[in-house]
Structure 1
């Protein structure tokens, strides 16, 4: 066999070895039980050592054939962990110098710089890769970078919209790639927080995560389950959120955040259930005094023969009903009225939560999204809610049973407090402090 052919076979061999290294990582739980998750990092390190040894053994032959590709493969192998590798950076920097058109090398160097915290440097690398050819890896990496660049609020929103579009492009290039779907889910979830906390955007995020989980490689990623759980929490699908946080914790037992979040959700559910059951913990006489002060004019523009304060036109007719008459889902054309009897204190700013009691002493919890910090209602306020969106919380988790009714309000501008529609200053500005994993 001629030397050229032999060198080509050797290069193909080490290409397969690096690919197998990533398959070992990405499909680890296809071959190992979840209770061995603590051994994953050690096992990957052992496989990395074997791969690097093979690369070193065939360095001379491979560099004669294609030095840049050899260096890219070595850098890719060194890039297998989540930590920044100075050696990977040095090797990949040499690879792009030898061949500035090598797309894989630019993508790997970008990911290396991303781990270092050099977001702008990473972006430059991904853009250099895209200049060579359109590829899903660069598109989804640009999507990630756009969400991490520190900008003014308006520019931040533009960047996140662009992030969604780049992730969509990546998905369209390979509809079976779970990682691309995962990045799209993250982009939508970020958009949910910085735009207007729209349930539609949240559902788009959840749909993308579901598609991601159909890919076995993506399904083993604890970050996917964690970020999906964050979305489920804000979708108020608490049981599914707790289970998804549990999955993230099982896939990465050394990561404390999923367990801490589970504890926060349990505390919120317990507090909410207790306050609903005990009507905000108000004493009977004080509760009666609250309800005596509840008047029909507190319905404001949603009362009989009222007109809209913002448009001057009459609202469509709203029927005032009691809390016990609410049905699951959106109660179109209905309005409920009650007194705030307790605020539910949580560690998270979103949503703002309180308990509402009506004239029959029925009590529900209310969660309000997009409300400005410090602009919530207080105990004793009369609150009317048009088109109430009702969700029944009723599930068992571990040894506890959670059961209460909640009304979700997507914007405070729909609320009527003490007979007046809330003003626009009660609506939250852009939120930039979302706690998600980096992708």
Structure 2
């Protein structure tokens, strides 16, 4: 019995090292150590004659190692299930089994396992992070929007246990980014996501290519394009197998589409443009003392107490945020990005639009140049749909 006790102690030491390597994303060390764990478990003689507790531990150790060496094969699932039948209180076995079901895209089972882990252990940041991820992957019968909000709450619970944990900040950033695309396409939601990614980078102890890839998605949606392309390049250098080049080309193609629409003035003839701009007010009485202006009257950044008048003349193929192209009363063409605009509302081609306190930007990235106005609060947008 002394020999098996020593073996179990050695295995426990190996497992602690393995968890440390995984936390640091040290993949070069996890694989050889996992093989050592498997070999040591297999070397135990007469394992079927051991105590229930010892058999549960050996099954867990080997199952955990197999998850790494065999990429979630069924043998690992069987061993972890066996371990939990022998010892249902092993929260780490519950969590590892949940990883297998997550990999298999069996999200209800994964959710059950992570909740089982938390029931046995109490609040643990690792299990909470994984549960947060699972809530972003729902079955058709579940309310996806509510699940995403739940994902944010659980990620915050994980973070509250350790505000210096890079992985928890990363998971929270992903939850906010998912919420932007699912529930709340606001600029503020993107800012929350980007803040979380920055904190994750600050506390990072190892490279995370997915963090840079997802941060690029958030930066692109926030129209911080130069930084988005940089993040994609970093992600590619860390993991060439990621679809960074495809995503970079996709970003650029959409920007080029907007630039082309502006340069070609939405393929409108000059006489038609001249007729349209006559209907764009260049002055008006405003009870709120806003100064009505054209694009040249704006400064870079926020323009307090100014109102831009324009005609909408084209839709781009950018959806998040939706980007339109139009012109002001002087016939200058530019893009308009609208955050959190109600999906049921429509801006008709040819309609007149007034934008209170517009945010003016000059897009200049990867050979693409055009002027852009951001509307971060849809309440600052007034639409007259009559031509």
For Structure 1 versus Structure 2, the TM-score category normalised by the shorter chain is 0.7 to 0.9
Distance 1:268 1:123 in 2: 37
**1:407 matches 2:373:** yes
Contact residue 185 and residue 321 of structure 2 kept, 8 A: no
SS state of the match for residue 202, structure 2? coil
Q: Does 1:14 align with 2:11?
A: yes
State the alpha-carbon separation in 1 of the partners of residues 384 and 190 from structure 2. 31
| C-alpha deviation, 1:104, in angstroms | 0.6
Alignment CA distance shift 1:26-1:102 (3 Å): closer
Match of 1:241 in 2: 228
The residue number in structure 1 matching 2:305 is: 333
Question: CA separation of 1:403/1:281 partners in 2, compared to 1, >3 Å: closer, same or farther?
Answer: same
- 1:281–1:342 CA contact under 8 A, matched in 2: no
Alpha-carbon distance, 1:414 to partner: 3.9
Gaps of 5+ in 1: 30-39, 298-302, 306-314, 421-439
Corresponding residue pairs, total = 383
Q: Over aligned residues, Cα RMSD in angstroms?
A: 3.0
Matched-pair contact (CA < 8 Å) for 2:101–2:109: yes
Q: Does 1:199 align with 2:180?
A: no
Residue in 2 that maps onto 1:71: 59
CA gap of 1:83–1:387, structure 2 versus 1, over 3 A, is farther
- Equivalent residue in structure 2 for 1:386, among 347, 356, 379: 356
* Residues 327 and 390, structure 1, Cα contact 8 Å, conserved in 2: yes
Mapped to 1, the partners of 2:124 and 2:46 lie a distance apart of 30
Match status 1:223 vs 2:189: no
CA contact (8 A) 1:71 1:94 kept: yes
Q: Which residue of 1 aligns with 2:241?
A: 254
Residue 210 of structure 1: how far off its partner (Å): 1.3
Distance in 2 (alpha carbons) for counterparts of 1:81 and 1:322: 63
Instruction: Decide whether aligned partners of structure 1 residues 8 and 393 sit closer, same or farther in structure 2, where only a CA change above 3 A counts.
Output: farther
**Is the CA contact 1:317–1:333 (under 8 Å) kept in the aligned structure 2?**
yes
Q: What SS is found at the alignment partner of 1:80?
A: helix
Query: What TM-score, normalized by structure 1, do the two folds share?
Result: 0.77
Q: Aligned equivalents of 1:374 and 1:264: distance in 2?
A: 27
Deviation at 1:173, TM superposition (A): 1.1
- Residue pairs, 1:65-214, within 5 angstroms: 66-80=54-68, 83-132=71-120, 133-150=122-139, 155-214=143-202
Contact 2:351-2:385 within 8 A present in 1 as well: no
Partners of 2:113 and 2:331 in 1: CA distance: 62
Q: Are the equivalent residues in 2 in contact too, given 1:339–1:356 (CA < 8 A)?
A: yes
CA distance in 1, matches of 2:334, 2:220: 19
> What SS does the aligned partner of 1:148 have?
coil
The question of whether the paired residues in 1 share the 8 Å contact of 2:282 and 2:293 is answered with no
Distance 1:224-1:99 versus aligned 2 partners, 3 A rule: same
Aligned counterparts of 1:240 and 1:379: Cα–Cα separation in 2: 32
| Distance across 2 between alignment mates of 1:59 and 1:157 | 52
User: Residue by residue, what CA displacement relative to the aligned partner does 1:378-428 show, whole Å, maximum 9, x if unpaired?
Assistant: 443222111212223234xxxx333322112235554323367xxxxxxxx
1:352–1:376 contact (8 Å) kept in structure 2 = no
Structure 1 residue corresponding to 2:285, chosen from 282, 304, 316: 304
Note closer, same or farther for the CA distance 1:222–1:83 as it changes in structure 2 (3 Å cut): farther
CA distance in 1, matches of 2:237, 2:344: 37
The answer to whether the 8 A contact 2:282-2:329 is kept is no
Q: Which residue does the alignment assign to 1:353?
A: 323
Gaps of 5+ in 2: none
CA 1:295–1:319 in 2, change beyond 3 Å: closer, same or farther? closer
Q: By how many angstroms is 1:102 displaced?
A: 1.0
1:273 and 1:19 map into 2 onto residues whose CA distance is 54
Q: Measure, in 2, the Cα distance between the counterparts of 1:9 and 1:326.
A: 75
- The TM-score, its normalising length taken from structure 2, stands at 0.87
Q: In 2, Cα distance between the equivalents of 1:12 and 1:390?
A: 64
